[in-house]
Amino acid sequence: MKIYDFIAIGLGPFNLSLAALTQPLDQADALFLEQRSDFNWHPGMMLEGTHLQTPFMSDLVTLADPTSPYSFLNYLKQHQKLYRFYIRENFFILRHEYNLYCQWVCRQLTNLRFNTRVTAISFDAEHHCYRLETRRPDGQDNGLYYARKLVIGTGPVPHRPDGCDTLGEHAIHSSEYLQQKPTLLEQPRISVIGGGQSAAEIVYDLLDEQRQRSFHLDWITRSPRYFPLEYSKLTLEMTSPEYVDYFHSLPMATRDTLLSQQQNLYKGINSDLINAIFDRLYEMDLHHAPRVRLLTNTAVSRVEASGAEFHLSLDHQEQQRHATLTTNALIFATGYRAALPEFLGGIANEICWDSKERLAVSRHYAIDKQQRLFVQNAELHSHGFVTPDLGMACYRNSVLLHKLLGWQPYAVEKKIAFQQFGFDEAGA
């Protein structure tokens, strides 16, 4: 019976980064399981011209190992695109190119298993390891795997407001946008709900479509304005090991308050895109008034489906006034929520929870007292807004590998910021 040092479940960018950093380690025996047939990152939002919000150095490996053969720069070199990227003079990778890069890394790794869905996990007390039952999509060749430790990286799931899960085919989440776009464009009125980057990208794309079509477009957000993503350098220092230390050490109530105040640090819109939307509206207005309505401070309190229409109850949060809106298509750009997979049911008694029934995640990303279960991108409430940041993936994975293997294959930075986020034991 083969027992792996650890098995990671789910293959988004964070676990793919972990796989790429693990591959060269001869002393590490690890496996990465993914139920999909291949790597494909947010295919429903692969809009033309969209790019990452972090520079190219936030690839899968560079910030842990700049010499890794799995770096983005090596990807460019191997595809004879390095000089073109150099001449482009833009640090931000196009989203489609990032997806191609990740797929290129996948093809080189031998520790990945696609088409492998984990169905159940239990703890084998005799061998002191976890037992994973898996199934292939065709129902054939079911398997068993054993590992001393686990990393859960199945990722968050699309979130819609309560009661909006079964509204019909013309009410979609932003993650489905490109697949459903042809059908949506046939509707006379389209309403986008949400005030973040995904909503803005969809609105900009639909404004382009309006040049040839006659639909009306609404952009509705409960935020008081369309917040730009804050990207100043001293703010970027908060994406640092010491800020994670600081945030994790705060009382839970303080952390929750901070997160509500910091949304423009990770949920804001790229300022260039905000400007591009305004410029597009300005150009459209030269020919005729745009068939567009932008509503801020507006919460959608209720949605009812009636035939080919949706009736929205709207609440203006500052005026305390109410209104209704009738539309034919809804796009919920309302983000994602953390969700634990069902296969953890067999070891649920090992998992630690906080007083709000959220994962109690240790500073080093464990969710159990034995330090055998670890998570990727499930610790926003405990580690702060840097959790979904691609730029912190290599740091987190360096920390994880130390805990998973018992030795430290990659140097872990302790302090990178000029500023001090809290008082130390000696005071200020």
Q: What is the pLDDT of residues 231-252, one digit of tens each?
A: 899 999 999 999 999 999 999 9
Angle, helices 197-209 vs 271-287, to 10°: value is 30
Confidence at residue 263, expressed as pLDDT on a 0 to 100 scale = 84
* Residues 242-264, mean pLDDT to the nearest whole number: 94
Read off the pLDDT of each residue in 101-120 and give the average, rounded to a whole number: 97
Is there a contact between 222 and 301 (Cβ–Cβ < 8 Å)?
Answer: no
Which domains are assigned to the chain? 3-156+338-405 (3.50.50.60), 159-229+268-332 (3.50.50.60)
Positive or negative: CA dihedral 71, 75, 81, 85: negative
For residue 234, how far is the Cα from the chain centroid? 23
Determine the pLDDT at residue 427: 66
* SS3 call for 125: coil
In Å, what is the CA distance from 368 to each residue of 90, 112, 372?
42, 25, 7
Query: Which residues does 118 contact at the CB level (< 8 Å), separation at least 6?
Result: 9, 33, 35, 132, 133, 134, 341, 343
In this structure, which amino acid lies at residue 35? Q
pLDDT tens digits along 4-48: 999 999 999 999 999 999 999 999 999 999 999 999 999 999 999
Is the predicted pLDDT of residue 426 greater than 70, yes or no?
A: no
pLDDT (mean) for 321-335 = 95
pLDDT confidence tier of residue 211, bands split at 50, 70 and 90: confident
> What is the per-residue pLDDT for 385?
94
Within 10 angstroms of residue 342's Cβ, the number of other Cβ atoms is: 10
119: Cβ contacts below 8 Å, ≥ 6 apart: 133, 134, 135, 343
Model pLDDT for residues 145-178, shown as the tens digit of each residue: 999 999 999 989 999 888 787 788 899 999 999 9
Please report the pLDDT score of residue 142 as a whole number.
83
pLDDT mean over 67-87: 97
3-state secondary structure of 101: helix
With bands split at pLDDT 50, 70 and 90, how would you rate the model's confidence at 308? confident
**Residue that wins the pLDDT comparison between 201 and 338:** 201
Helices (H), 227-310: 233-236, 241-249, 252-261, 263-266, 271-287
